[in-house]
Amino acid sequence: MRLKDKIAIITGAARGIGAAAAELFCREGATVIIWDVLDAGEETAAGLRDQGFQCEFLHISTTDVPAIEAASRTIFEKYGRIDILINNAGITRDKTLLKMSHLEWQMVIDVNLTGVFNCTKSIAQFMVQQNYGRIICTSSIVGVHGNFGQTNYVAAKAGVIGMVKTWAKEFGKYNITANAVAPGFIKTQMTDAIPEALRQEVINAIPARRMGDPMDIANAYLFLASDESGFVNGQVLGVNGGQAS
């Protein structure tokens, strides 16, 4: 029970990596609040409540600042604290630069970068008040190494790394850590849409010779959210099967 009595907000936890993290955090003793724009988040939360866990769902977009601020305040008033923020929500709109529209650029930046800023800015103030917090942001292997056809996504994920390194310096004195997890090739609905031949080509380039599982990332979140990681701050934890160092 490494998260016993902790209050955790996980964005984008209706399905995939976020849903796996919500389940793991509940099993480790946390009360989990799922923020997502997908109504499937209520099904995920209800399934966890049926197992006896404390889990709520709020229909929140990481681009909606008034809703984020209101929800953050309500959660803090209800529980008296917010211990963990997992900035997991993200979207893709992949195209090569010359084919990418300004709208496709902006949509990904709004959710994957500005959305992380919005949620962290709103919640960090409560972490400062309580002199404790764990901020964990989802970057990506491509945020470190780049990737063909993902200018918008790569820019956002690289920006996330820069933000956590800055927040580590700004909030360290308040017993708040900020770190990023950089997943590699993970089995999700997003990667399920990749043609089989291309998917196998990527797997063959991974030393572990398999795709990652959402729980592989959830376990990384758990370590960074726990008290065991109290001296880990401003770091990027790559979870990629050895695909990149």
Q: What is the pLDDT of residue 13?
A: 98
- What percentage of the chain reaches a pLDDT higher than 70? 100
Q: What is the pLDDT of residue 194?
A: 83
Q: What is the pLDDT of residue 245?
A: 62
Query: Is 153 labeled as catalytic in the residue annotation?
Result: yes
Q: pLDDT tens for residues 154-205? A: 999 999 999 999 999 999 999 999 999 999 999 987 788 788 998 899 999 9
Which range is least confidently modeled, 62-71, 193-202, 223-232?
193-202
Query: pTM for the complete prediction?
Result: 0.96
For the segment 103-128, the average pLDDT, to the nearest whole number, is 98
- What percentage of the chain reaches a pLDDT higher than 90? 94
Q: For residue 69, is it left (φ>0), alpha (ψ between -120 and 50) or beta?
A: alpha
From 79, 132, 153, 221, the catalytic residue: 153
Structural domains in the chain, CATH included, are 7-233 (3.40.50.720)
Q: What is the pLDDT of residue 188?
A: 86
Report how far residue 142's alpha carbon sits from residue 244's, in angstroms, rounded to the nearest whole number: 10
Angle CA(146)–CA(151)–CA(152) in degrees, nearest 5? Answer: 120
pLDDT range class, residue 143, cuts 50, 70, 90: very high
Q: For the chain, what is the mean pLDDT?
A: 97
Please answer whether residues 67 and 60 qualify as being in contact, where contact means their C-beta atoms are separated by less than 8 angstroms. yes
pLDDT range class, residue 66, cuts 50, 70, 90: very high
Which backbone phi and psi does 52 adopt, to 5 degrees?
Answer: 95, 10
Which residue's structure tokens are 């993970």? 186
